[in-house]
Structure 1
Amino acid sequence: MFTIEHEFDSTVITLIDEGHDGLMEDVTILAFDDCVVLEQEDAMTGEVVRVSLSMTQLSDLAAALDLPEGSYRLERPKKD
Protein backbone atom coordinates (compact mmCIF):
# COMPACT_ATOMS: atom_id res chain seq x y z
CA MET A 1 0.00 0.00 0.00
CA PHE A 2 1.15 3.55 -0.58
CA THR A 3 -0.09 7.13 -0.37
CA ILE A 4 0.73 10.19 -2.51
CA GLU A 5 0.41 13.78 -1.32
CA HIS A 6 1.36 16.98 -3.13
CA GLU A 7 2.96 19.63 -0.91
CA PHE A 8 4.01 23.18 -1.82
CA ASP A 9 7.54 22.27 -2.92
CA SER A 10 7.50 18.47 -3.08
CA THR A 11 5.54 15.30 -3.70
CA VAL A 12 5.41 12.95 -0.69
CA ILE A 13 5.01 9.21 -1.26
CA THR A 14 4.67 6.88 1.72
CA LEU A 15 5.26 3.15 1.22
CA ILE A 16 3.50 1.03 3.84
CA ASP A 17 4.75 -2.51 4.44
CA GLU A 18 1.82 -4.86 5.04
CA GLY A 19 0.71 -8.43 4.79
CA HIS A 20 3.49 -10.56 6.32
CA ASP A 21 5.49 -11.17 9.47
CA GLY A 22 8.54 -9.01 10.12
CA LEU A 23 7.00 -5.80 8.80
CA MET A 24 9.41 -2.95 8.11
CA GLU A 25 8.78 0.68 9.09
CA ASP A 26 7.05 2.92 6.55
CA VAL A 27 9.29 4.56 3.94
CA THR A 28 8.61 8.19 3.06
CA ILE A 29 9.88 9.54 -0.26
CA LEU A 30 10.13 13.31 -0.68
CA ALA A 31 10.52 14.31 -4.33
CA PHE A 32 11.89 17.83 -4.91
CA ASP A 33 12.98 19.55 -8.14
CA ASP A 34 16.67 18.70 -7.63
CA CYS A 35 16.73 15.59 -5.43
CA VAL A 36 14.75 12.78 -3.82
CA VAL A 37 14.97 12.06 -0.09
CA LEU A 38 14.05 8.67 1.40
CA GLU A 39 13.21 8.51 5.11
CA GLN A 40 12.59 5.53 7.39
CA GLU A 41 12.48 5.29 11.16
CA ASP A 42 15.10 2.98 12.64
CA ALA A 43 13.09 0.55 14.79
CA MET A 44 16.01 0.07 17.21
CA THR A 45 16.85 3.74 17.89
CA GLY A 46 13.62 5.52 16.97
CA GLU A 47 15.62 7.96 14.85
CA VAL A 48 14.70 8.81 11.27
CA VAL A 49 17.35 7.73 8.76
CA ARG A 50 17.57 9.87 5.60
CA VAL A 51 19.14 9.12 2.23
CA SER A 52 19.32 11.82 -0.45
CA LEU A 53 19.61 10.94 -4.15
CA SER A 54 20.40 13.36 -6.95
CA MET A 55 18.16 13.16 -10.00
CA THR A 56 21.03 11.41 -11.84
CA GLN A 57 21.29 8.78 -9.10
CA LEU A 58 17.52 8.29 -9.20
CA SER A 59 17.63 7.81 -12.96
CA ASP A 60 20.44 5.26 -12.56
CA LEU A 61 18.45 3.41 -9.89
CA ALA A 62 15.37 3.24 -12.12
CA ALA A 63 17.46 1.82 -14.97
CA ALA A 64 19.23 -0.66 -12.66
CA LEU A 65 15.96 -2.26 -11.62
CA ASP A 66 15.57 -3.70 -15.14
CA LEU A 67 19.17 -4.71 -15.86
CA PRO A 68 21.13 -7.89 -15.14
CA GLU A 69 24.20 -7.98 -12.91
CA GLY A 70 27.07 -5.82 -14.19
CA SER A 71 28.54 -2.32 -14.30
CA TYR A 72 26.83 0.33 -16.40
CA ARG A 73 27.06 4.01 -17.36
CA LEU A 74 23.99 5.67 -18.87
CA GLU A 75 24.52 7.94 -21.85
CA ARG A 76 22.85 11.28 -21.17
CA PRO A 77 22.23 14.11 -23.63
CA LYS A 78 24.85 16.85 -23.38
CA LYS A 79 23.65 20.18 -22.02
CA ASP A 80 24.55 23.31 -23.96
Structure 2
Amino acid sequence: MFTIEHEFDATVVTLIDEGDGLPLMGDVVITAFEDCVAVEQTDPDTEETVRITLSMTQLADLAAALNLPEGSYRIDRTPAPKG
Protein backbone atom coordinates (compact mmCIF):
# COMPACT_ATOMS: atom_id res chain seq x y z
CA MET A 1 0.00 0.00 0.00
CA PHE A 2 1.16 3.56 -0.58
CA THR A 3 -0.07 7.12 -0.23
CA ILE A 4 0.69 10.25 -2.25
CA GLU A 5 0.38 13.77 -0.83
CA HIS A 6 1.12 17.03 -2.62
CA GLU A 7 2.48 19.69 -0.28
CA PHE A 8 3.49 23.28 -1.00
CA ASP A 9 7.08 22.53 -2.00
CA ALA A 10 7.19 18.75 -2.34
CA THR A 11 5.38 15.55 -3.23
CA VAL A 12 5.43 12.93 -0.47
CA VAL A 13 5.01 9.22 -1.20
CA THR A 14 4.75 6.81 1.73
CA LEU A 15 5.28 3.08 1.13
CA ILE A 16 3.65 0.92 3.80
CA ASP A 17 4.95 -2.63 4.25
CA GLU A 18 2.03 -5.06 4.19
CA GLY A 19 4.09 -8.07 3.17
CA ASP A 20 3.54 -11.57 4.47
CA GLY A 21 7.12 -11.81 5.71
CA LEU A 22 7.96 -11.12 9.31
CA PRO A 23 9.20 -8.83 10.60
CA LEU A 24 7.55 -6.04 8.66
CA MET A 25 9.79 -3.11 7.80
CA GLY A 26 9.02 0.47 8.82
CA ASP A 27 7.22 2.77 6.39
CA VAL A 28 9.40 4.36 3.70
CA VAL A 29 8.73 8.07 3.14
CA ILE A 30 9.94 9.57 -0.15
CA THR A 31 9.87 13.35 -0.38
CA ALA A 32 10.45 14.80 -3.86
CA PHE A 33 11.61 18.41 -3.98
CA GLU A 34 12.54 20.47 -7.05
CA ASP A 35 16.26 19.70 -6.74
CA CYS A 36 16.49 16.44 -4.76
CA VAL A 37 14.64 13.44 -3.38
CA ALA A 38 14.86 12.34 0.26
CA VAL A 39 14.15 8.76 1.36
CA GLU A 40 13.48 8.12 5.06
CA GLN A 41 12.71 5.02 7.08
CA THR A 42 12.23 4.67 10.82
CA ASP A 43 13.36 1.44 12.43
CA PRO A 44 10.32 0.17 14.35
CA ASP A 45 12.51 -1.36 17.08
CA THR A 46 14.82 1.60 17.80
CA GLU A 47 12.63 4.45 16.51
CA GLU A 48 15.79 5.78 14.76
CA THR A 49 15.14 7.46 11.39
CA VAL A 50 17.63 7.08 8.57
CA ARG A 51 17.55 9.65 5.74
CA ILE A 52 19.20 9.42 2.33
CA THR A 53 19.13 12.40 -0.04
CA LEU A 54 19.58 11.83 -3.77
CA SER A 55 20.29 14.50 -6.37
CA MET A 56 18.08 14.47 -9.44
CA THR A 57 21.02 13.00 -11.40
CA GLN A 58 21.35 10.16 -8.90
CA LEU A 59 17.62 9.55 -9.08
CA ALA A 60 17.76 9.36 -12.90
CA ASP A 61 20.66 6.90 -12.62
CA LEU A 62 18.67 4.77 -10.16
CA ALA A 63 15.64 4.72 -12.47
CA ALA A 64 17.86 3.63 -15.39
CA ALA A 65 19.61 0.99 -13.26
CA LEU A 66 16.35 -0.74 -12.43
CA ASN A 67 16.03 -1.86 -16.07
CA LEU A 68 19.65 -2.79 -16.86
CA PRO A 69 21.62 -6.01 -16.41
CA GLU A 70 24.58 -6.28 -14.05
CA GLY A 71 27.49 -4.04 -15.02
CA SER A 72 28.98 -0.56 -14.78
CA TYR A 73 27.33 2.27 -16.69
CA ARG A 74 27.63 6.00 -17.37
CA ILE A 75 24.66 7.87 -18.84
CA ASP A 76 25.47 10.37 -21.60
CA ARG A 77 23.69 13.56 -20.56
CA THR A 78 24.84 15.73 -23.47
CA PRO A 79 21.89 17.17 -25.37
CA ALA A 80 21.10 15.57 -28.69
CA PRO A 81 21.90 17.74 -31.74
CA LYS A 82 18.91 19.64 -33.11
CA GLY A 83 17.72 19.07 -36.63
Flag whether TM exceeds 0.5 (same fold): yes
Gaps of 5+ in 2: none
Runs of 4 or more off by more than 3 Å in structure 1? none
Residue 43 of structure 1: CA displacement? Answer: 2.7
Residue 19 of structure 1: CA displacement? Answer: 3.2
Contact 2:25 2:43 in 1 (8 A): no
Aligned residue type for 1:35: C
| Higher mean displacement: 24-33 or 44-53 | 44-53
Residue 42 of structure 1: CA displacement? Answer: 1.8
Residue correspondence of structure 1 range 1-80 to structure 2 within 5 A: 1-22=1-22, 23-77=24-78
Aligned residues with identical type, % of pairs = 69
Please, what TM-score do these two structures have when normalized by structure 1?
Answer: 0.91
Aligned length: 78
Root-mean-square deviation (CA, aligned residues, Å) is 1.1
Gaps of 5+ in 1: none
